[in-house]
Amino acid sequence: MPDMSDAAKRAQELRERINRHDRLYYVENEPEISDREYDRLFAELEDLEEDHPEIVTPDSPTQRVGAEPESELGKVEHVTAMLSLDAGRDKDQIADFIDRVCETVGDNDVTLLAEPKFDGLSIEVVYEEGRFCRASTRGDGQTGEDISHTLRTVHALPLRLKEADEVRADLAVRGEVILPKSSFQKVNKARVERGDAPFANPRNAAAGILRRLDPSEAESIRFAVTFYDATGIDTENAPGQRELLEALRDLGFPVLGDRARCETLEDAEAFHDDMQDRREELDYEIDGIVLKLDARKAREKLGQRSRSPRWAIAWKFPPRTVETRIADIVVGVGRTGALTPVALLDPVDVGGVTVARATLHNIKEVHRNDLRVGDTVRIERAGDVIPEVAERVPKPGVERSDPFEMPDRCPSCGARVERRGPLTYCPAGVACPAQLAAKLVHYGARGAMDIEGLGEQTAEQLVERDMVKDIADLYELSVEELTAVDGFAEASAEALQDAIHARGEVPLDRFLRALGIPHVGADAARRLAMAFGTLEAVKEASASDIEEIGGIGAETAQSVAAFFAEERNCDVVARLLDAGVAPQPVERAGRSLEGQTFVLTGTLEEWTREEATEEIERRGGRVTSSVSGNTDYVVVGTDPGSKREDAREEGVEMLDEDAFAKMLG
């Protein structure tokens, strides 16, 4: 036990740190440490104060009643307490639950309804006379934070209910706001580029963005919502959970995902296993299933514990987080010259995927998490297959290596690096072998020029052997030269040369994307191509012309104009055109599908999934990955997945390939 003065000093230090993290978490929405780390600090302080009661100060965070500090958001009293769920992880616990329910209800044919357990931000939304009134987080269950200002910007949430007249009483609905996995990646990418910490998972991201005072970021993101409970819909109209969900849907609320009636433990298990299998294909995170006694009236017999009902239970999936060790930290050089620290990990299996490396984003992140070679870390695979280092796991008594620092020189070409805020760049451009190789790979990638056989290893060799100095040189490679590349025989060299020259006529948007102009991804390329029609027009456009087309920010517009102002870039483009590359104008499609939501399932003959998505988006429609009440059409190809069943259940119109083609015109 430390002596008194040490204890007092350490306690004061802990209080200051805890206060700071409280402010970062609750007020600024920018937590720097994980909840676990925070709990550890708090527990250490509690222990110290318990051992040395004389050092407790009245303003110590441990003395705060309720422990939840004030945030700047308003408080909202919930209509009735927002309960949480008991969780089971194995079949036995679920069997016990079912037994208890049967016993209490006094019936052996109890029907349970199984739903996905959505891993989003829990919310309550109150409607008065069919109009959106306010939205709040769960908070401590009784009182939550007012997030009406951000929830109002979520398009998936109805502001006025469809059958408002029939809703005589006021309504409080409960559900989750979800940041789709596809948007999660974008949000994190933008944060890292700004020098902010990436969110560890979509739930944290949703909470962080929606609990902000300023709604502008929330506005720019397409959140999903789903609902599973309501007060104000009586049991006569909706005797079961199933009818309740239907009633919610009729009122215009999205109700996502599958559900299943379960009469037995085996039924529940089948649904659990099926959802676990399909977890990856969903565009939102689920972390288990929820089993609920279907009969709403009978739930009263079961009642509740202090914080959770006895008529429902969560059956969780195994966690997708795992601990491993950082074997080394290396530095990669990307196509734009950005130097990225990458952790090489002792390989581990995280939910069925072997993870051996994880990006650490930038030096600020490495220092924020205090990650060093040899440290044990917790890896989380959420939102996508790309794993994140969620936190460092301190190992007391284990000596640590020195803090990691970025190199002063580019590891590929040796140029002195430039630092811009938290980011480090190699300024050498295509003179840097790593940047040039990455540019070649990007040029040949799917969605760009789609050159089969131009992978990372091949590109690296082409650069290393001085066979190319820019992307236009690809077109001058002879079969003879290519056979010098490791792993290439005459046939494969010929195949690569053919693949390079095969793509003469290419849609303008793909060509623009292939050029690797900073900030120009698929979306910006498509907008540019559609707005300007020809390469000439894009080249001649000024930054302000580009900004005017909408959907393209100032930074991207500047970047495009700057790219074509550079003589060297224009030279490369001219040589590509001379070599036979002929960007084709993208037809400006009408906005015939404006506001329509599609889901694709199965294989189409005419289009790849990317192409079909592109066709829909060009016409103003959008494509989501799962069927919900908001889906307008499901396009069904051969060998369709379960989405066809979903569509049937939801009563969503289905289109076969012919009908889809007709719709596109």
| Binding letters toward ligand IVH, positions 266-305, x by CB under 6 A | ------------------------x---------------
Q: Which of residues 407-446 bind ligand IVH (CB under 6 A)?
A: none
By CB under 6 A, is residue 118 in contact with ligand IVH? yes
- Residue from 122, 183, 324, 369 in contact with ligand IVH (CB under 6 A): 122
- Residue from 7, 14, 18, 85 in contact with ligand IVH (CB under 6 A): 85
**End-to-end Cα distance, the chain:** 78
Q: State in angstroms the smallest separation of the CB of 49 from ligand IVH.
A: 31
Task: Report d(CA 27, CA 214) in Å as an integer.
Answer: 12
By CB under 6 A, is residue 244 in contact with ligand IVH? no
Q: Could you tell me how many residues of this chain bind ligand IVH (CB under 6 A)?
A: 14
The pair of structure tokens assigned to 379 is: 């890896």
Residues paired with residue 183 on neighbouring β-strands, in sequence order? none
Q: Which of residues 353-412 bind ligand IVH (CB under 6 A)?
A: none
From 41-49, 114-122, 380-388, 546-554, span contacting ligand IVH (CB under 6 A): 114-122
| Residues 115, 289 contacting (CB under 8 angstroms) | yes
| Residues 490, 591 contacting (CB under 8 angstroms) | no
Smallest Cα–Cα separation from 97: which of 242, 286, 292?
Answer: 292
- Residue from 7, 268, 314, 663 in contact with ligand IVH (CB under 6 A): 314
Task: Report d(CA 123, CA 177) in Å as an integer.
Answer: 7
Annotated catalytic residue: which of 117, 292, 439, 643?
Answer: 117
The pair of structure tokens assigned to 422 is: 């938290």
| Residues 127, 235 contacting (CB under 8 angstroms) | no
Residues paired with residue 600 on neighbouring β-strands, in sequence order? 635
Smallest Cα–Cα separation from 296: which of 226, 220, 245?
Answer: 245
Q: State in angstroms the smallest separation of the CB of 301 from ligand IVH.
A: 15
By CB under 6 A, is residue 83 in contact with ligand IVH? yes
Q: State in angstroms the smallest separation of the CB of 122 from ligand IVH.
A: 3
DSSP single-letter state for residue 603 = B
By CB under 6 A, is residue 84 in contact with ligand IVH? yes
Torsion of CA 568, 573, 578, 579, to 10 degrees: 110
Please say which residue, 93 or 457, places its beta carbon nearer to ligand IVH: 93
Query: In Å, what is the CA distance from 311 to each residue of 181, 267, 306, 585?
Result: 31, 17, 13, 60
Q: State in angstroms the smallest separation of the CB of 30 from ligand IVH.
A: 24
From 78-86, 433-441, 461-469, 529-537, span contacting ligand IVH (CB under 6 A): 78-86
Please say which residue, 245 or 493, places its beta carbon nearer to ligand IVH: 245
SS3 (DSSP) at 608: coil
Please say which residue, 296 or 392, places its beta carbon nearer to ligand IVH: 296
The label of the residue with tokens 């969110």 reads: 199
Please say which residue, 497 or 626, places its beta carbon nearer to ligand IVH: 626
From 307-315, 523-531, 585-593, 616-624, span contacting ligand IVH (CB under 6 A): 307-315
| Residues 224, 175 contacting (CB under 8 angstroms) | no
Task: Report d(CA 490, CA 77) in Å as an integer.
Answer: 74
Active site residue 117: yes
- Residue from 176, 258, 365, 473 in contact with ligand IVH (CB under 6 A): 176
Task: Find the farthest-apart pair of alpha carbons in the chain and give their distance in angstroms, rounded.
Answer: 83
Binding region for ligand IVH (CB under 6 A): 83-85, 115, 117-118, 122, 176, 228-229, 290, 309, 312, 314
What are the catalytic residues?
117
